[in-house]
Amino acid sequence: MTIPLDKINGMPAYSTYFPKPPAIYKGVKSHQIHFKADKNAISRVLPSCFEPSDDRLCIASGMSIEWCSNYGQFEESTLSVKCKYKNYEGYFCVIAFLNSKSSIPAGREIYGTPKVFADIKVGMYERIMYTNTEIANQSIMNIRSTMEKKIDIEQLPKTEHSWRLKVIPGAEKDTLDVMQIIDGKDVQSDQTFKTIQYGNGVVEFNPMPIYDLSDFTPEEYYGAYYIETDFTENYGKVVYDFLKKDTK
């Protein structure tokens, strides 16, 4: 008996490469550096459906996932830039580096997160948390931060919308099968914060022939945040579909 098409959630058809959401995350330790970058750097990586924000804020983050029900254990680093879509402000995920084999295709196919494979090391050196991201034995992004005082969740900067541009090329030349704006602001639920700390941090970007972010050298820093949390990852929301003529 063949496989009914309405029973296929992904490929391979008989045994999908990654499970469907929800995904349960336990023991997530993350830090994020808030900084201002050159407007030309932000414009270079921002799709034209978004408009750079006037304050030129960016977030570089690193995290260690101790256990995930769908993807196991892995590390991740990301760069997001503040921008506008229509009359709304939020952040666009420029790139996400991971050392996970199953989380990468899941993130790209489900949410449109621009995930790419890299060598990542997340750890602690005394009171400094670090995230090192390397490709081809070359450092591409390094994050360092301290934890100086405990704060409440209300003191975390509000990121509001969390946008991705989901793009899937077509099988035929010069075609696209999917082009959608996805909002991940409500993806997480059942979130439990174990600790939130404020401190200082720095981020370093180095030139690379691919995924080059060296023009994001920070012009000004606005602090660092350390977070330990558990949560459930659900589905995102399609904000706009560029390939459907009836969307407004």
Please determine, for residue 246, whether its predicted confidence score (pLDDT) is greater than 70.
no
**Over the stretch 14-47, which tens digit does the pLDDT of each residue have?**
999 999 999 999 999 999 999 999 999 999 999 9
- Output the furthest CA–CA distance in the chain (Å, rounded): 62
What band does 8 get if pLDDT is binned at 50, 70 and 90? very high
Residue 60, phi-psi category: left (phi > 0), alpha (psi -120 to 50), beta (remainder): beta
**Over the stretch 53-71, which tens digit does the pLDDT of each residue have?**
999 999 999 999 999 999 9
Buried/exposed code over 94-133 (b: 16+ C-beta within 10 A; e: otherwise): bbbbbbbebbbebbbbbbbbbbeebbbebeeeeeebbbbb
Rounded to whole angstroms, the Cα distance separating 84 from 181 reads 13
- For the chain, give every domain's residue range: 23-163+183-235
For residue 142, how many C-alpha atoms fall within 13 Å in the half-sphere facing its CB?
Answer: 7
Please determine, for residue 137, whether its predicted confidence score (pLDDT) is greater than 70.
yes
Give percent of the chain with pLDDT exceeding 90.
95
pTM of the model: 0.95
The encoded tokens of residue 113 equal 């997160």
pLDDT at res. 24:
98
What band does 158 get if pLDDT is binned at 50, 70 and 90? confident
Beta strands (DSSP E) in the chain are 23-36, 51-52, 57-68, 74-85, 88-98, 115-117, 119-125, 128-135, 138-146, 149-150, 161-169, 176-183, 188-199, 201-205, 220-233, 237-241
Mean pLDDT over residues 149-158, rounded?
93
Mean pLDDT over residues 211-215, rounded?
98
Rounded to whole angstroms, the Cα distance separating 85 from 57 reads 15
**Helix (H), strand (E) at residue 127:** none
Q: Is 153 helix (H, G, I), strand (E, B) or coil?
A: helix
**Over the stretch 66-124, which tens digit does the pLDDT of each residue have?**
999 999 999 999 999 999 999 899 999 999 999 999 999 999 999 999 999 999 999 99
Domain spanning 23-163+183-235: CATH 1.10.287.3510:
no
The encoded tokens of residue 35 equal 């900084």
In one-letter notation, the amino acid at residue 87 is N
Q: Give the Cβ contact number of residue 231 at 10 Å.
A: 18
